[in-house]
Amino acid sequence: MSTGTKKKRKSTLPMVSDHRNQATPPDTEMEPQRPARETTDAAQSFHSQIVLDDKYRLMNEVGRGAMGVVFLAEDMPLERKVAVKFLLPSLATSPDYAKRFNHEAVAMAAIQNHNVAQIFSFGQYGNIPYFVMEFLEGVTVEHLIDAHNRRGSYISVAEAIEILIQSLSGLSAIHRAQAVHRDIKPGNIILTHDPIRVVITDFGLVRRVQIQSDTRALAGTPAYIAPEIASGEPGASESLLTDIYSMGVTAYELLTGVMPFVGETWKEILQMHIEDEAIPPAVRRPAIPAELDRIITKAMQKSPEDRYGSCGEFIKDLIDVQRQRFSEEPRRFSPFRSDIPTIGLPRKDSNEASDDRAFRATDTWGDDQLVIAEADTAFSAAIEKSAKRLLPNCQIHIAADGNQALALVERLQPRLLILNLSLPELSGFEVAAILRGESESNQLAIAMIVEAATSSDTGFLRGMGITDFLERVDGKSLDSALRPILEGAFKSS
């Protein structure tokens, strides 16, 4: 049973979330259930005392899927964080799965691209293969979609196009290496925080699945799988065009917030990919430009020869839409840039004379609100103390995580939000992106707390209308840094 057109999006859909998050476990009936965790003995196969190759010390588990488990680890010689992905112990005894797992490591290691996760090393712990890759601190595109769903908002069209272009750039590098990803989906595309970039990770493994009496070799997650793979066509999983289809489904969800096909069982979903036509993206979300609707529909064609023949062709059409629709925006990448009016009030040019006398406690803004979203209690207290010196009558509120920050902004409608990039629950990037999608937040000024005002983050943040940056300083230096930010947000015209 496929989903119908949605009038107003709000909160996440349990069926959608359950179907998209998990790849199909091997040798199981295709039901929309999360795979069972490993047994206690298997789960204890990895622990923090393990040091791999005399240099990678395991720290804690950070992710687990149907095929593998990922640990945060320390690269001791280089004093950096890395991620270590193991094939699940229950699958490591299969020569076929072990061979394919190692093939994934070799394929990824051969690709040097800004938009593809970098592999540092691979080996074997006992009989369990693993590979070491860069640790990506950020959020998945799936997480970003869910964050907007919870707020009943859409990711902006301009932002979605940027994410897709960067994702396709990484996928193009994979294809140039004559490799097929096999599991393109929002959960395998990560938006990193520092620096900001879109990164493809987790190549898919071909796995055997039981669909009633029919056993098939299946690559990918059923919610995003190409029709030719779903129907079991020989050699389909080796075709680059299956990744194009999966990217089309990802684009559909990125822009509409829902997957094109949702059913009660994996079998039903696969059958929809083979037989059903998706509801056009622009029907679900009328604001989607007609040309962009055509692009997504082309990428999702049932017949491979009717799709884009390469990532380059896909990218070219997206760039054409970007130029036609958003040519006035900065031509630089920001995964959280929006197509609504810029947040924040107009600021003076740096060479314009400053009028300190106009910045004083008056009844004009005495009841205004300021929200500080910072998990470091010492620094949030320092900002609060400095702000009180500069704005004695302003009401100041503290949020310790992203969810609290959104709740305070929604309830108080403050004039200014001072926001840390790395908040728990929802990151500062996610909070800013969500607020950019809400028209009632257009007049909210946002200042971002950064380690250095010249960091690589700031250029991208300016693209979403954030022009104020607060470095981690204290005392009089904090007063000096905070003053122009408060002036821009609170000073009466």
Residues involved in catalysis: 183
Residue 415 near residue 490, CB atoms below 8 Å: yes
Place of tokens 């959104």: 406
What's the gap between Cα 13 and its chain centre? 18
Sorted by sequence, the CB contacts under 8 Å of residue 379 that are 6+ apart come out as 449, 472
Phi, psi at residue 395, to the nearest 5°?
-85, 125
Long-range contacts of 483-487 (CB under 8 A, 24+ apart): 483/359, 483/390, 485/416, 485/418, 485/445, 485/447, 486/359, 486/387, 486/390, 486/391, 486/416, 487/354, 487/359
Angle at which helices 14-21 and 141-151 cross, to 10°: 180
Q: Cα separation of 114 and 301, whole Å? A: 29
Residue in 215, 221, 210 with CA at minimum distance from that of residue 243: 221
Rg of the chain's alpha carbons, rounded to an integer?
A: 24
Q: Cα separation of 428 and 450, whole Å? A: 11
Question: Token pair for residue 49?
Answer: 């005392």
Question: Token pair for residue 354?
Answer: 């400053």
Place of tokens 């040798």: 27
Place of tokens 């130029």: 323
Question: Token pair for residue 295?
Answer: 């692009």
